[in-house]
């Protein structure tokens, strides 16, 4: 329920772009920022109906939202999207790169095409956006948060393509952080493990085991990650640069 979302103070009036924001984790992030008073650009690549459903889910919150269609694997579309944001709103304050792809595979038989697709989805949006951010974020600076996963640092069966892509994304976050820090732009990542999205599909036995192994007593939810995104977007996070924050209830601590 939208009324259950606790707003992050200090984000009122910020303009935020969330990639892959029409469902799941992306929508949870959009809801958190919108509840905090942001104007959220809801990026989507699929049909407009998906964006309409997301906008309906954001209705009634403290902030506002609008659709932001673009295929972010295409640099020209990224640049066009940011140009529209600049024209309509005069600036961009927050960029949350949540969009991801996952093509199952084995490290003993990596195929070029699925690996390239996962790498492109992870890297292309930030690579295309980075040169434009100083102009869009201005003297006030801004926040960039990328969503990674535990598969960037641990070997998850079948996850090699996405794992390599997320590892590259975390490296890119560090490089961008070093080059944008002088512009008052922070760039950080959030890494999470298996997320409980309330789906009826999947492997219930595996989810039960993971929940029991998590020291905090349950699986991570989209709202948990959205809360961490908002923390990194806050003014008080201005001195955090190039870090990957693990948000998994302590699961990664366990052997």
Could you please report the per-residue DSSP string of 130-179? GGGHHHHHTTT-EEEEEEEEGGGTS--TTBHHHHHHHHHHHHHHHHHHHH
Distance CA 197, CA 13 (A): 29
- How far apart are alpha carbons 237 and 158 in whole angstroms? 35
Determine which one of 6, 32, 159, 194 is catalytic: 159
Report the alpha-carbon distance of residue 247 to residue 216 in Å, rounded.
Answer: 11
**Which residue out of 166, 194, 197, 208 is catalytically annotated?**
166
Distances (CA, A) of 103 to 100, 112, 117, 161: 10, 11, 8, 6
Neighbours of 60 (CB within 10 A): 10
166 given a catalytic annotation: yes
Instruction: Dihedral sign for Cα 75, 176, 137, 148, please.
Output: positive
On whether the CB atoms of residues 134 and 91 are closer than 8 A, the answer is no
What is the distance of C-alpha 156 from the center of its chain? 20
- CA-nearest of 89, 69, 95, 91 to 80 is 69
Which residues are tagged catalytic? 159, 166
């Amino acid at each position: 329920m939208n009324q259950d979302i606790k707003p992050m103070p200090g984000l009122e009036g910020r303009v935020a772009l969330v990639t892959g924001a029409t469902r799941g984790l992306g929508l949870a992030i959009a809801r958190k920022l919108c509840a905090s008073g942001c104007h959220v650009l809801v990026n989507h690549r699929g049909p407009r109906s998906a964006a309409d459903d997301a906008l309906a889910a954001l209705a009634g919150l403290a902030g506002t939202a609008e659709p932001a269609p673009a295929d972010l694997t295409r640099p020209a579309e990224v640049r066009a999207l940011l140009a529209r944001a600049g024209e309509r709103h005069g600036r961009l304050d927050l960029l949350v790169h949540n969009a991801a792809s996952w093509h199952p595979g084995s490290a003993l038989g990596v195929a070029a095409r699925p690996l390239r697709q996962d790498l492109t989805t992870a890297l292309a949006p930030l690579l295309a956006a980075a040169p434009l951010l100083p102009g869009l974020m201005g003297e006030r600076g801004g926040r960039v948060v990328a969503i990674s996963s535990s598969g960037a640092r641990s070997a998850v069966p079948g996850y090699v393509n996405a794992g390599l892509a997320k590892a590259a994304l975390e490296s890119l976050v560090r490089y961008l952080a070093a080059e944008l820090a002088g512009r008052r732009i922070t760039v950080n990542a959030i890494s999470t493990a298996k997320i409980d999205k309330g789906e009826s599909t999947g492997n219930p036995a595996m989810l039960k085991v993971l929940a029991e192994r998590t020291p905090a007593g349950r699986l991570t939810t989209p709202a948990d990650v959205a809360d961490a995104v908002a923390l990194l977007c806050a003014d008080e996070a201005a001195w955090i640069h190039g870090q990957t924050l693990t948000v998994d209830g302590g699961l990664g601590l366990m052997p």
